[in-house]
Structure 1
Amino acid sequence: MESIILLFGSNIGDKTANLTRAVELCSEHIGPINKASSLYSTEPWGKTDQDIFINQVVSFNTNLSVDIALTETQKIEMQLGRVRKEKWGSRTIDIDILYFGNLIKRSKTLYIPHPEIGNRRFTLIPLIEIAPDFKHPVLNITNEEMLKRCQDELGVVKLEKS
């Protein structure tokens, strides 16, 4: 079993329901949930003229390879209506692989750990909720230390549980 940490985001439709369904499908197709962060309302990053996002980071235990896990996350995105029109554009669901254990992988289709982790508060804030002391296998610093160094100033607000 390996730990895979995924970032979920949605800014179209019923955002919370989209996240909930995506996490459920990942638990069915990738493996059982280990830890899940709270939900966060976040300002859009990269392309700012769009609706706010709801984001969550979830850790799963998996027997899949990282390539098969990527295929499964992309199938789930398609199943939930993801259409890739433009980079950083609006989406019903986005699922990014942040970490796959301590794996370092650089290929045409996949960079592990995700190359933008340290640049995005919408990733780091929910990530440190579930894995503050995990060390980035390339940078050799913790997620918490990455947040301290992060220069992103976009809003990230924890949502109250309903």
Structure 2
Amino acid sequence: MSKMQSIKSMFGIGSRSRSLLLSLLAGMMLFLASCGNAPQAQAPTYTPDLVQRLESYASDIQGMRDRMGELEELIQAQDWIYVDNFIHGPLGTLRQDMSLFNRNLLPQDQPQGRELAREVFRHLEAISLAADTSDYKTAARNYQETVADLDAFLELLPDATEDANS
């Protein structure tokens, strides 16, 4: 018995059934091939709505940044009670605002935002500890680093015209 005859007898496939089976397999291959050529996903970009939301959060953060001069004056005056009160009072919502801002950045920008936010709060905590021990040098140094990191964080705000043109 030849191989073809053994296949026919095993599966009971006649020539008409084979044609139907081959047509079905060809159709499935065509369907699968058409599914495989999906268009490339476009990289995420900042939409005008998202930029507007980020600008709103940035405005709140910038308002706190504008008040950092008050903290500097308190440190220079070595008014340690008010230094600590200022960090936990007027700057108290800074962490939340920075977190909301960062969550709305594109995924590729979020790690840098998270790191800068951590640095800002690490420096603010160091200022608070320096206030507890009346350590002017540590407070002054961490104040400068806080301002630098806060400015770098605000630089993450995308330019609305830049994304509209790209």
TM-score normalized with structure 1 length: 0.25
Larger Cα-atom Rg: 2
TM-score normalized with structure 2 length: 0.24
